[in-house]
Amino acid sequence: MTTAPTPLPADPRHWHDVPHAPLPGTVLGHAHTLADGSVTMAETPDTPGRDGMGVFRYLLLRSGSDVRAYVNRCAHFGVPLAARQDLLKFQPHVRVSCNVHYAHYRWSDGLCTAGDCEGESLLAIPVVIDVDGTIRIAA
Ligand code: FES
């Protein structure tokens, strides 16, 4: 007997509620490939998640030895912050912006500090970094 997956919420409050959220332990990238002060748009290949196979879009932000990961999903309309890496707007170490209606998200915690979704946040993904720089979703 198989168990049907739990329905996903339309307005996710946690990274793991987003469709195709990968499982803990999934590799998101490598710290040594991220320039200091950069924001990198990335996505998983078709990987197994809680709700089956699919692509999951995320952002990696590096500030010194600190690496943060957020779901690439604007809190305003639920769309990616940019369609392509070269269109992504950010101020290194300070903020990343949505280029649809220009909401500003604080680098350190993803809080929207200006824009149509002020007070809401990007969905943070907990990560751990292995000694070789591999970035994984924390358990
Ligand atoms: S969709 Fe991002 S600010 Fe409106």
Query: Tens digit of pLDDT for each residue in 11-34?
Result: 889 999 998 899 999 999 999 999
Residue 108 maps to a domain = yes
In a domain, residue 14? The reply is no
Name which residue sits closest to atom 3 of ligand 1, judged by CA: 101
What's the one-letter identity of residue 4?
A: A
Residue 8 falls within a domain, yes or no?
Answer: no
Whole domain around residue 104: which residue ranges? Answer: 19-137
pLDDT tens for residues 88-122?
Answer: 999 999 999 999 999 999 999 999 999 999 999 99
**Residues in contact with 119: Cβ distance below 8 Å, sequence separation at least 6, in sequence order:** 111, 112
Q: Would you say residue 5 lies in a domain?
A: no
Ligand 1 pocket, residue 78 CB under 6 Å: no
1 within a domain of the structure (yes/no):
no
Asked if the structure places residue 3 within a domain, the reply is no
* Token reading at 43: 């996505």
Please give the model's pTM, rounded to 2 decimal places. Answer: 0.91
For position 53, what pLDDT does the model report? 79
Q: What is the whole-number distance in angstroms between the Cα of residue 80 and the centre of ligand 1?
A: 9
Give me 1's structure tokens: 């007997």
- The enclosing domain of 114 has a CATH number of 2.102.10.10
With respect to residue 28, please indicate whether it lies within any of the assigned structural domains. yes
Give the count of domains, the chain. Answer: 1
Minimum-distance ligand 1 atom for the alpha carbon of 99: 2
